[in-house]
Amino acid sequence: MSDNSEKILVRYYSDVLEETTVETLWTEIIDIQKGLYKIDNIPFYGPDFSCGDIVFAEYDEDEEYITYRNVVEYSGNSTIQIIVLDEDIDVMQLRNEFKNLGCESEGMGNKYFVMEIPNHLNYSEIFKKLNALEVIEKISFAEPNISQKHSSEK
């Protein structure tokens, strides 16, 4: 990471884990004096923001870390969580299929990954692919943070 990067701590309830979780995320420092940071990686478990969003964070004495407080500006990007149900699916191949549609992803293990849908992409084709895979029980997916634009494109 560059000198203009900072990790921040995010504590939130995760529907995936069904518990409060802590995640640290890389950010780009926008204005350290004002506590403004741009999220620079895809959140794993479903906070109310996505990669590219600008958030306010400040040092928390209890956490002993720079800690997320709220979103200042949404990027319009969306975050999708995908659990692979079919043992025969090559997860990296599936991630590459979505990458070819313009979606970056980050994986955890060989059954779970999160995917970013950039604001400029039309979600329709991506949603159809996700839905088709879910209908035949190859995957299950959730949309923990979907922009209004992407929601309207389903």
What single string gives the DSSP state of each residue in the chain? --TTEEEEEEEEEETTTTEEEEEEEEEEEEETTTTEEEE-S--SS--S--TT-EEEEEEETTTTEEEEEEEEE--S-EEEEEEE--TTS-HHHHHHHHHHTT--EEEETTTEEEEEE-TTS-HHHHHHHHHHHHHTTSEEEEEEE--HHHHHT-
pLDDT, one tens digit per residue, over 9-44 is: 999 887 777 888 899 999 999 999 999 999 999 998
pTM (2 d.p.): 0.90
For the chain, what is the mean pLDDT?
93
Q: Report whether pLDDT(149) > 80.
A: yes
pLDDT, one tens digit per residue, over 123-144 is: 999 999 999 999 999 999 999 9
